[in-house]
Amino acid sequence: MDDRSIRELLKDVAEGRLTPEQAHSRIKSLPFEDIGFAKIDHHRALRCGVPEVIFCQGKTPAQVGGIAERVLGAGSNLLATRAEPAHFEAVRQICPEAQYRQLARCITVRREAEPPRGQVLVVTAGTSDLPVAEEAVVTADMLGARVRLISDVGVAGLHRLLAYAGDIQSARVVVVVAGMEGALPSVVGGLVAAPVIAVPTSVGYGASFQGLAPLLTMLNSCAAGVAVVNIDNGFGAGYLAALINAMGDEGSE
Amino acid sequence: MDDRSIRELLKDVAEGRLTPEQAHSRIKSLPFEDIGFAKIDHHRALRCGVPEVIFCQGKTPAQVGGIAERVLGAGSNLLATRAEPAHFEAVRQICPEAQYRQLARCITVRREAEPPRGQVLVVTAGTSDLPVAEEAVVTADMLGARVRLISDVGVAGLHRLLAYAGDIQSARVVVVVAGMEGALPSVVGGLVAAPVIAVPTSVGYGASFQGLAPLLTMLNSCAAGVAVVNIDNGFGAGYLAALINAMGDEGSE
Amino acid sequence: MDDRSIRELLKDVAEGRLTPEQAHSRIKSLPFEDIGFAKIDHHRALRCGVPEVIFCQGKTPAQVGGIAERVLGAGSNLLATRAEPAHFEAVRQICPEAQYRQLARCITVRREAEPPRGQVLVVTAGTSDLPVAEEAVVTADMLGARVRLISDVGVAGLHRLLAYAGDIQSARVVVVVAGMEGALPSVVGGLVAAPVIAVPTSVGYGASFQGLAPLLTMLNSCAAGVAVVNIDNGFGAGYLAALINAMGDEGSE
Amino acid sequence: MDDRSIRELLKDVAEGRLTPEQAHSRIKSLPFEDIGFAKIDHHRALRCGVPEVIFCQGKTPAQVGGIAERVLGAGSNLLATRAEPAHFEAVRQICPEAQYRQLARCITVRREAEPPRGQVLVVTAGTSDLPVAEEAVVTADMLGARVRLISDVGVAGLHRLLAYAGDIQSARVVVVVAGMEGALPSVVGGLVAAPVIAVPTSVGYGASFQGLAPLLTMLNSCAAGVAVVNIDNGFGAGYLAALINAMGDEGSE
Amino acid sequence: MDDRSIRELLKDVAEGRLTPEQAHSRIKSLPFEDIGFAKIDHHRALRCGVPEVIFCQGKTPAQVGGIAERVLGAGSNLLATRAEPAHFEAVRQICPEAQYRQLARCITVRREAEPPRGQVLVVTAGTSDLPVAEEAVVTADMLGARVRLISDVGVAGLHRLLAYAGDIQSARVVVVVAGMEGALPSVVGGLVAAPVIAVPTSVGYGASFQGLAPLLTMLNSCAAGVAVVNIDNGFGAGYLAALINAMGDEGSE
Amino acid sequence: MDDRSIRELLKDVAEGRLTPEQAHSRIKSLPFEDIGFAKIDHHRALRCGVPEVIFCQGKTPAQVGGIAERVLGAGSNLLATRAEPAHFEAVRQICPEAQYRQLARCITVRREAEPPRGQVLVVTAGTSDLPVAEEAVVTADMLGARVRLISDVGVAGLHRLLAYAGDIQSARVVVVVAGMEGALPSVVGGLVAAPVIAVPTSVGYGASFQGLAPLLTMLNSCAAGVAVVNIDNGFGAGYLAALINAMGDEGSE
Amino acid sequence: MDDRSIRELLKDVAEGRLTPEQAHSRIKSLPFEDIGFAKIDHHRALRCGVPEVIFCQGKTPAQVGGIAERVLGAGSNLLATRAEPAHFEAVRQICPEAQYRQLARCITVRREAEPPRGQVLVVTAGTSDLPVAEEAVVTADMLGARVRLISDVGVAGLHRLLAYAGDIQSARVVVVVAGMEGALPSVVGGLVAAPVIAVPTSVGYGASFQGLAPLLTMLNSCAAGVAVVNIDNGFGAGYLAALINAMGDEGSE
Amino acid sequence: MDDRSIRELLKDVAEGRLTPEQAHSRIKSLPFEDIGFAKIDHHRALRCGVPEVIFCQGKTPAQVGGIAERVLGAGSNLLATRAEPAHFEAVRQICPEAQYRQLARCITVRREAEPPRGQVLVVTAGTSDLPVAEEAVVTADMLGARVRLISDVGVAGLHRLLAYAGDIQSARVVVVVAGMEGALPSVVGGLVAAPVIAVPTSVGYGASFQGLAPLLTMLNSCAAGVAVVNIDNGFGAGYLAALINAMGDEGSE
C-alpha cells in the first residue's frame, strides 16, 4: 500500500466510486492469498520486482506443491530452493514442465523467455563449493541475468584466478563463493570495480565451525565493495546480484 | 596488469619500441608508491574506479599525514576514515582546505565537483546509530552519489518508517544502519525492489555482544536482496552503495 | 509447606490432635510421589495452579507411561510434550482417550471442560515455525485459555502482518514464534499494549546457529514489553501466556 | 493506524467531512514528532498504553534534553533510563521538579498521581544486583504498579529466600534479578503461580562472560512460567511486569 | 619414579647390588606395558591409588579387549566407561564374569571385595540425567565408596529436594548431576558442609548448547565448596568423589 | 532447619515447652540478619562449617564495612575477598587489627588461633598467576589448613615441576593455578593420588580469551581426579581445598 | 610466473624466438589443467616443491577419479586425503597399484622411490588420536621424510612420555597430535629444540566442543617453538613437517 | 636429564666417583635457579638451543629486573618481550647497554655477535600490523637469523604483493602477519615452497572479535605448509622461524 495508492483510493471514495465499506474491504484484501499454512504474496512482483520464491526446507512436499500451484496459477515463473526430490515430485504433478536442477537443489518453471541481461559472474574457490554456486546461478538466471560460472580458482593457486582476470573485470557483479578460509572475495574485491557479493560456505572442517570462519573472513574483508550473505545462501547472493545487474540497464530508460 | 596491457607491452617489445629491460622495469614499476611503512596504490582509481582511502585507526598522525600528502600530490580527492582530531591536524597542515566531519570521524578533501548522481538512501533505526550512518553518507557522497539520510525509524514504531515508504521506494540503493536487534533491514528489504546494504552497529548492551546480535539478525534476514557488511562499517556500506548507485547511470552510455 | 500450613500443623500438635511423630511424618510425606526414577509433584496444581507436565525427551516410553498413570490416577488433566509416537502408544494403553497432537508432538487428556477464557494469540513468522507454535497452542489451550493461531506473517511482507493488526491488538497476550532473523516480536511489540512472549526457533540455516540468531535478536528487542523463552520452547511460551491470560479474569473476583 | 480509525477516516471522506487531501495529510501526519536527530512517538501512550521512554545511553545531554522537552510538553510523565548526571542536568534545566534516582540511573517526572495498583515484587540474588533491580522498580512504579523489593536472597542460602515465601507467593508478577549463576528464577518459578520475569545481570567474573552465564541459565530454566529479558535490562523487566500487573485489574471493568 | 625410589636405586648401584646397566634398564622399564596402539599404566594403582580405567569411546572392541586382557592379567579390577555392547562382548570373551551396567554404559570386573567406605551421595535434577549419574555411581563404587543415588530433585520443586535434606547433609561428598539450567549444585552447596562435585549434562535443548548452559551455571556458582567436571563426565565426578570420600578414613590410621 | 531440629521443635510443642506461636516465631527467626542491602548468614558456620565470607566486588566500602561489623560482632573470624584498599579502610575503622593481604586482595581478621591442619599445596604455572594463587592460600589458611605455595613450575620446563614431585605427592589436596594453556593440572593430576582443584586464570592474551582457553583445557583434562572452579576464583579453590583437607582429620574421631 | 621467467619470455620475444601472440598464449596457458569442475595445478611441484594433493571430502568418486587420472597422467605421485572407500574404488580402476591406507583414510600411488630423509616424529596423546596421526604419517612419508610414530603418551602419565625423551629429542621436527585438553605439545615443546607442529583433534566430548578446547590450548602454549594447524588436520601437519624436515638436508648442497 | 646423562651418572656412582648422596643431590640440583617468585631455566639453552626469554606482561619492573640480572649474570643474551618503558628502566639499571625496541616492545642485550644466517622474511598485510611484525623481527634476529621485513602488501592490492614474489620465494621461512580478514598467509602459502608461519593480529574492528576472525582464517587455510601461532604472538612466530631457518645450515655439518 504505497503512498499513491492510498491517495487514489481516498479519491475514489470521495468521488463516490467506492463506498467506505468497499474501500475498507479493498485495503483488507491485501495482496496475498491465505492458504492456511502459508500466505502467498502475489503482489511481491509489483512491490519488489521479483515473484515469490519458495524456500522448501522445513516444508512438506504437499505444502510446497500447494504454494507452487497458486504461484503458477497467478501466471508467475516459479523458483523453489532447497528442494528435495520429493518436493520436485509434488511440483511436477502440478506442472509437468517443471525442472529440477539437482546440484543447485532448485525447482524452476519459466513461463516467459526474455533475453538475459548484463553479466553476473559467479566464482568459486573450490569444487566443493559448487552446489551453493549453482543455487546462485539458477537464481540469477531466473531473475533475468546472463550468468557465467568459473569454479575452483581459490587463492592458494593464484595463477588460476589471474588467468580469468579479464573475465572477472568485465562482469557487472561478481558473486564469490568460498568455504574453508574464505579469502577469495578479498582478492577478487581488489581486482574489480564491480560490486562483490561474498557467500561463505560450510565446506571445510574443524575450525571452520560450519562456515563461521569464512563468514568472519568475508565480513572483515580489507577490500572495499564487498558485502556478505548468510552461510550457504546461494539464493540470496544470486537474487541480489540480479537486482544490481538489472540496474545497469535502467539508466537507458 | 590486465590481459590487454600485457598484449600491448609484448607487442611493444616485439616491435622494438621497448627493450626487454624497459618492459621488465615497467612491469616492476608497479602502480604503487612505497613510503616505507605503507604502499600507496595510486592506480586504484583506474583498477577499482575509486581512489585509495585511508583507514586511520592504528596509524599515527604522522603516518596519515604522509599518506595523505602522496594521495593529494597525485591529484586525487582524499577520504580518511576513523580519523581522530590529531589525524585531522596532521592533514590540515598539508592541506588547509581539508574538512573534518566530526560525527562521521572522516577527513575529506574534494578537488573536483561533479554533480551528484542517482539516489543513495541511508536509514537508521535509532539516534545512536548516527555516527556509523554519517560515515556511510560521507563515503557515498565522496564517491559521487546523491545521498539522503533518514534517522530514528526503528521497527518498534513502524508508522515512523512507513511514513517514509515513498522515499525509501524511490532510492536506487538503501543502506540500513541498526544496532540492538537489527531488524530494520528485513522490514526495509520487504518494502523495496532496490538492493539493501545492512550495517550492524555496536549500539546496544548485554546480549548485543558488541554488535554480534544485529550482525546475525541481518545475515539471517528473510528478506531477499539484503547483504551485510562488518559491524560499524559505515565506510564499507557507503562505498558499495556508491558503486551500485553508479551502475544506474551506465546503461545510458 | 507455606506459612499457614506450618502454623496449623503446630497448633494440631499443641492441641493434641497430632502426635509429634505424626506431624513429622506428615512433613516428610511431602507432596510428591516417588516412583523410583521420578518424583511426581501432585500438589503442583495447588502451589503453581497448573498440573505437572511431562517432558518426554530423554525418557523411555515406559517411564512416560508410568508417570502418566500416576498423574491421571490423581484425577488431573494430562499434558506430555516432546512426545514421540512410541510415548503416545505407552500412554494410550493406560488411557484410551488420550490424543496425540502430531505437529505439536503433544499427548493430551482432558478430564474436565471449563469454557476457555480470554484470548491468547500465537503468531508465526513462517510456515516452518508451525510445530513450535502448535506446542504453544496446545499448552495454552490445556491450561484454559482461548487460543488463536495466525501463521506466516513475517516482517519481509509487512502487509501480511498489518492485515491482522486488529486481531493482534485485541489479544490479551501475544506469543510470537520466529526463526531465521527473529525480527517479528519487535514489530509486534511496537503494535500492541499486551505482553509479548517471544519464542526463537531453530528454523534457518548457516549463521542462524540453531536458533542463536533469533534468540539474540529477541533479547535485544527495542520494543518494550517483550520477554523471551528458550529456543523452540513452545511449551514455555504457551504456559506463561496462559498464566498471564488468566490474570485478566482475576480482577473481577 | 488501527482498523477502526481507517474505517472512520474513510467514512469522514465519504460523508464529506474530510477532503481526500485532508485525509491523506492526516494519514501522513503520523503520530510522531520529528526533531531532526529523533522522532518522538507521542501516540505511543494510545497505541501501547505507555508513554515514550528515553534510553539515554549513546545520546548527548542536549539530545536527551530536547526529547524530554517535547515529551513533557505533550503533558506526559517522563522516564529516562541509563541516565548519567549530565543527562539529568540537561533535563532539570527544562523541568526543575525532575528527580534523579541515582542507583537506578533513571530520571523521572510524574505529572499525575494515580494510586498504585496490584503488586509487583522485585527480588535480587545479591547486593550487587541492586542497580538493575532498582531500574525495574522505578520503571514499574512509573507505569502505575505497587512495587516491593527484596534483595540478597540468592539460592546458596535458601532459608533467606524461604523466609519470604509468603511475600513471593502473594505477588501478581515477580521480577527476579540475578548475576553469577542466575539460578534464582528457577527456584522462585517453582514456588509461585505468578509469571516470573528473569533479568540476568553482568555481575560476576570469569566464566560469567558479562552475563552470558546467567542468561543461559534463565533461558534453560526447568521451571515453567519464566521468561527472560536482556542482560541488565531492568527497564524491560519492570515495563513488562507493569503490563502484566495491570491485567489483574482489567477483569473487573 | 619418586624421590625415594631414586635414592634406593642409586644406593643399590653404589653398594653393588645393581650394575649401572641393570639400573638403567630398570629406569627404562617404565611402569607401563606397550601393546602397540596403547601403553598400559600398570603402576597407576601405586602412583595414583587407582587402577587404569579404559575410556572406550573412539576405541575398537578389539582394542578394548586387548587392554582389558592386560589389566585383568595384572590382577586389577576392571572399569571400562563409555562402553558400547560390542565392547562388552569383546571383554566378556576374555572374562566371562564381566558385567555390563547398561544405563551407565560401564563394564566392570571386581576381583576383590573390600567393604565399601564412607558415603558418596549422587543427586540428579531430572530423570534424564540418570545415565550420567549412574556412571558416577558405578565409578565411585568400583573405587571402594559406599554410594547412594537420589534422582529427580531439581530446583523447580524445592520441597522434593528438601525432603532429602538430612540425607544430603550426612554425606561425605555430594555429586550433583544436572542439565538444563544446572542450578541444583548451588542450592545443594548452600545446604551442606561437604564438598560438592557438579556435573553438567547435555540434557536439554536450544540455548542449553549441548551442556554449555549448565556448565557455565556451575562454574559461576555463588555457593562455595563447589567444583565442576566436564559435561556428561560422570566418571570424573565419581572418581574424584571416591578420592575425597576415602580421605575421611585416613585420619584414623 | 534439618530433620532433627524439626523433630525436637515439635516435641517441645507437644510437651508444652513451647507454644505454637513461639515455635512458629522460632522457625521464622531464620538464621540470618537483615541489614537492608544484605542478609547476613550467621548460622552458616553451623550449616556449612565455615563463616560467611564477604565478596567485596560490586559493593561499596560502606556496605563492606557494615557487613564486617555484624560478622565480627558475632565473634566470627573475618575474610573479605576482592577487596580494594578503600574496602580495607572501611574495615580497619571498625577493627584496627584487620590485615590487608595486598597481592591476594583479601582482608582478614583472625579471632582464634587453632593450629593449622593437614597440607594444602598451591602450585602455579607462572609468576603472573600469583595473585589468584595467593587468594587461594589466604582462604585455605583462614579455614584452618596448613598451606604451602610453589610458583612458576609450568609444563614447558618440566624439570622444574619434577623437582617438587615429592612435595606434590605428599599433599592432601593440590590446588593448581594456571593461565595461558592451562596444562599444568593434567600433569599434576597424573602424578598424585590426591584430589586436584584446577583454577584457570585470565593471564594470557589473544586466543586465551580472558581465561576461556585454560578453563576448557582443565575441564577436558585426561587426568582423573581433577575438578575445576571459575576463572580467577582463587577463593573457591582455597575454600574447597580446605574442606577436603579437613576430611583427612575426621576419620580419627 | 616468477620474475626470472618473465625476463626470459620478454627476451625471447625481443629476439624473435617468440611472436607476441605466442608469448601471450604461453602466459595464458597457465600451469593448470581445466577439467570443468576442477583446475589441476600440475606446476605446483615446481612452484611449491610438492605435487597437487586431492582433498576428497565433498567430492564425488567420479570427480576424484578424474583428478587422479590427470595427476597420474602427468607422472606425479598421488596423494588423496579424506578418502572414503568409494573414492578408492574410483582411483583403483584408473591405477590398480593404488593403495588405501584405511586408518589414515588416504589413497597413495608412489611412482619413484627416493630414500627417505631426516626424521619426522609423530606423537599422539591417546589411542583415539591415531587416525589423524596416521594422516600426518602418510603425508610426510609421501613427501620424502623418514617418519616414526609414538602413540598414547599423554601428559597424565608423564613417565610414558619421558621414556621416549631421547627419541623425541633426536627428531628434526615433531608433530604432536592430541585431543581432549591438548596439553601434550606444551610439554613436548619444553623438551626439544626442534620445531613442534601441534594438531588438535576432535577426540573428546562435552566441553571439548569438537576440538575447540585443544585448539585453544595449543595456540596458548607457553612453550616456544610450537605452531598449530586446523583441528584434525593431519595432512597439514605432515606436509609442513616434511617441508621443514627437508631443510635439514639443504645446507649440505 | 636425558638418557645419556643418566647412564653417566649411574656409572660414576658404580665406579665410586660419586656417592649416592652426591648423585642424588646432583639430580636435585635441577638446571634452574629459584629466586622466589620465579624459577630461571639457565639450561634451556642446552635443552632447547635458545636462552630463557622474559615475558614481561603481568610482571613488575622489579621482577623483570631481577630475572634479567640472573640471565645476564649467566652470560646469556637477553630478550624481554611485551616490555613497557618501566620494565626497560629496571633492566637498564642493571645493564646500561640494554636496548629498547619501542615498536616491538622488546628489551635486548646481545653479548656475542655471530653473523646472521639464512633468510627469514616477515611480511605484513597492513601498516597497523607492524608492532607484531617487529616483535617477530627482533626475536628471530636475537636467535641468529638474517631477517627482512616487507610491510603493507595485503591481498586487496595483489600487485603490491606480487612485486615481491621473488623476494618471498627466496626466503627459507616466511612469517606472515595479518589482521582483519587474515587472508595473506593463504596467498603467500600458494606462492612458496618454504614453511609459512601465520600470525593473526587483533588489528581490525567489529566482527574481527579481537583477532578471532584472522585466527580462524589462517587455521582454515587451503594452502598447505601454513601453521599458526596465537593472536599478536610475534615472539612465537619469530622464535619458530629462527628454529626452522637454522635447520637450513645443519645439513652441512
B58 touches chain A (CB under 8 A): no
- Taking CB atoms and an 8 Å cutoff, what residues of chain A touch H212? 216
D98, D65 contact by CB (below 8 A): no
**Phi and psi angles of residue C89, each rounded to the nearest 5 degrees, phi first:** -55, -45
Q: Which residue of H has its CA nearest to G49?
A: H193
- Taking CB atoms and an 8 Å cutoff, what residues of chain F touch G157? 190
- Ramachandran class of H19: left when φ > 0, alpha when ψ lies in -120 to 50, beta otherwise: beta
Say whether D40 sits in a helix, a strand or coil. strand
Which of F89, F183, F199, F93 is closest to F139 using CA atoms?
F199
Q: Is the pLDDT of residue H35 over 80?
A: no
- Taking CB atoms and an 8 Å cutoff, what residues of chain C touch B186? 155-156, 181, 183
Select from D157, D205, D206 the Cβ nearest to the Cβ of F32: D157
B24 touches chain G (CB under 8 A): yes
Q: Which residue of E has its CA nearest to F217?
A: E230
C160, A39 contact by CB (below 8 A): yes
pLDDT in tens, D65-119: 999 998 888 777 899 999 999 999 999 999 999 999 999 999 999 877 778 999 9
Cα–Cα distance between H200 and H178 in angstroms, integer? 5
Q: Which residue of C has its CA nearest to E208?
A: C230
Select from D153, D203, D206 the Cβ nearest to the Cβ of F231: D206
- Taking CB atoms and an 8 Å cutoff, what residues of chain B touch G24? 6-7, 10
Q: Which residue of H has its CA nearest to B56?
A: H128
Flag if C181 and B180 touch (Cβ within 8 Å).
no
Q: Touching A: which chains, 3+ CB pairs < 8 A?
A: B, C, D, G, H
G149, G138 contact by CB (below 8 A): no
Select from B3, B193, B244 the Cβ nearest to the Cβ of A195: B244
D206 touches chain E (CB under 8 A): yes
Q: Is the pLDDT of residue B220 over 80?
A: yes
**Quick one: pLDDT at residue F249?**
76
Residue of D128, D220, D221 to mutate, interface with E, max E Cβ within 10 Å: D220
- Taking CB atoms and an 8 Å cutoff, what residues of chain F touch G204? 220
The low-confidence residues of chain A, meaning pLDDT below 70, are: 1-7, 21, 23-51, 250-253
User: How high does pLDDT run on average in chain F?
Assistant: 85
The CA distances from residue C104 to A244, C64, C79, C129, E228, in Å, are: 42, 17, 12, 11, 36
**Mean pLDDT value of segment H51-78:** 87
Say whether H146 sits in a helix, a strand or coil. strand
C150 touches chain A (CB under 8 A): no
Count the helix, strand and coil residues of chain E and give each as a percent rounded to the nearest 5: 45, 20, 35
H217, G228 contact by CB (below 8 A): no
pLDDT in tens, F137-189: 999 999 999 999 999 988 887 878 888 888 888 899 999 999 998 999 999 99
The answer to whether C and H touch (≥3 CB pairs < 8 Å) is no
D28, B159 contact by CB (below 8 A): no
C-alpha cell at H41: 631455566
Considering only residues G231 and A14, tell me which one the structure prediction assigns the higher pLDDT: G231
Q: Which residue of F has its CA nearest to H215?
A: F207
Report the gap between the CA of F207 and the closest CA in chain C (Å). Answer: 22
ipTM of the modeled complex: 0.84
Flag if A207 and G63 touch (Cβ within 8 Å).
no
**Quick one: pLDDT at residue A86?**
97
- Taking CB atoms and an 8 Å cutoff, what residues of chain B touch C210? none
Q: Which residue of F has its CA nearest to E220?
A: F230
Cα–Cα distance between B201 and B186 in angstroms, integer? 15
The CA distances from residue A47 to A2, A44, A113, B120, in Å, are: 9, 5, 21, 19
E57 touches chain F (CB under 8 A): no
Report the gap between the CA of B30 and the closest CA in chain G (Å). Answer: 13
pLDDT in tens, C12-23: 877 888 777 666
The percent of residues above 90 in pLDDT, for chain G, comes to 56
Dihedral sign for Cα H187, H190, H192, H198, please: positive
Report the gap between the CA of D46 and the closest CA in chain F (Å). Answer: 38
Considering only residues H2 and B70, tell me which one the structure prediction assigns the higher pLDDT: B70
Count the helix, strand and coil residues of chain D and give each as a percent rounded to the nearest 5: 45, 20, 35
Q: Is the pLDDT of residue C243 over 90?
A: yes
- Taking CB atoms and an 8 Å cutoff, what residues of chain F touch G189? 156
F86 touches chain C (CB under 8 A): no
pLDDT in tens, E119-146: 999 999 998 999 999 999 999 999 999 9
C-alpha cell at F32: 540470618
- Helix spans in chain B (H): 3-14, 20-28, 44-48, 61-73, 85-94, 130-142, 158-162, 165-169, 184-191, 212-219, 234-250
Q: How confident is the model at residue D6 (pLDDT cuts 50, 70, 90)?
A: low
**Quick one: pLDDT at residue D94?**
93
Select from B32, B59, B215 the Cβ nearest to the Cβ of H128: B59
**Quick one: pLDDT at residue B43?**
47
Q: Is the pLDDT of residue C93 over 60?
A: yes
- Taking CB atoms and an 8 Å cutoff, what residues of chain D touch B208? 230
C-alpha cell at E180: 538444563
Q: How confident is the model at residue H38 (pLDDT cuts 50, 70, 90)?
A: low
Flag if G127 and E202 touch (Cβ within 8 Å).
no
Q: How confident is the model at residue H3 (pLDDT cuts 50, 70, 90)?
A: very low
**Quick one: pLDDT at residue D2?**
43
Count the helix, strand and coil residues of chain F and give each as a percent rounded to the nearest 5: 45, 20, 35
| Least confident residue range of B48-52, C103-107, F28-32, F81-85 | F28-32
E-state strands within E26-141: 33-34, 39-40, 54-55, 78-81, 99-101, 106-109, 117-124
Cα–Cα distance between G16 and H65 in angstroms, integer? 69
pTM value > 0.80: yes
**Mean pLDDT value of segment D163-182:** 91
**Domains of chain G with bracketed CATH:** 3-109 (no CATH), 117-252 (3.40.50.1970)
**Mean pLDDT value of segment D194-210:** 94
Considering only residues F31 and G129, tell me which one the structure prediction assigns the higher pLDDT: G129
**Quick one: pLDDT at residue D28?**
47
**Quick one: pLDDT at residue A250?**
59
A166 touches chain G (CB under 8 A): no
Cα–Cα distance between D120 and D175 in angstroms, integer? 7
Q: Is the pLDDT of residue B234 over 50?
A: yes
H195 touches chain G (CB under 8 A): yes
G151 touches chain E (CB under 8 A): yes
Considering only residues B233 and E34, tell me which one the structure prediction assigns the higher pLDDT: B233
**Mean pLDDT value of segment B138-145:** 94
- Taking CB atoms and an 8 Å cutoff, what residues of chain D touch F232? 205-206
**Quick one: pLDDT at residue F131?**
94
Report the gap between the CA of D229 and the closest CA in chain B (Å). Answer: 10
Dihedral sign for Cα A10, A11, A12, A14, please: positive
| Least confident residue range of E243-252, F95-104, F211-220 | E243-252
For chain D, give the number of residues.
Answer: 253
Cα–Cα distance between H97 and H94 in angstroms, integer? 9
Cα–Cα distance between C198 and D219 in angstroms, integer? 12
Report the gap between the CA of A22 and the closest CA in chain D (Å). Answer: 10
B227 touches chain C (CB under 8 A): no
Flag if F30 and D163 touch (Cβ within 8 Å).
yes
**Quick one: pLDDT at residue A104?**
96
Output the 3-class SS for chain A. CCHHHHHHHHHHHHCCCCCHHHHHHHHHCCCCEECCCCEECCCHHHHHCCCCCEECCCCCHHHHHHHHHHHHHCCCCEEEECCCHHHHHHHHHHCCCCEEECCCCEEEECCCCCCCEEEEEEEECCHHHHHHHHHHHHHHHHCCEEEEEECCCCHHHHHHHHCCHHHHHCCCEEEEEECCCCCHHHHHHHHCCCCEEEEECCCCCHHHHHHHHHHHHHHCCCCCCEEECCCCCHHHHHHHHHHHHHHHHHCCC
Beta strand G78-81 with G54-55: parallel, antiparallel or unpaired? Answer: parallel
The answer to whether F and E touch (≥3 CB pairs < 8 Å) is yes
Number of residue pairs across A and B with CB atoms under 8 Å? Answer: 125
**Residue C80: enclosing H or E segment and its boundaries?**
strand C78-81
Considering only residues G94 and G7, tell me which one the structure prediction assigns the higher pLDDT: G94
**Mean pLDDT value of segment C157-162:** 80
G108 touches chain A (CB under 8 A): no
G128 touches chain E (CB under 8 A): yes
D119 touches chain E (CB under 8 A): no
Q: Is the pLDDT of residue B135 over 90?
A: yes
- Taking CB atoms and an 8 Å cutoff, what residues of chain G touch B14? 13-14, 19-20
| Least confident residue range of D232-241, G46-55, H156-165 | G46-55
E1 touches chain H (CB under 8 A): no
**Quick one: pLDDT at residue H253?**
37
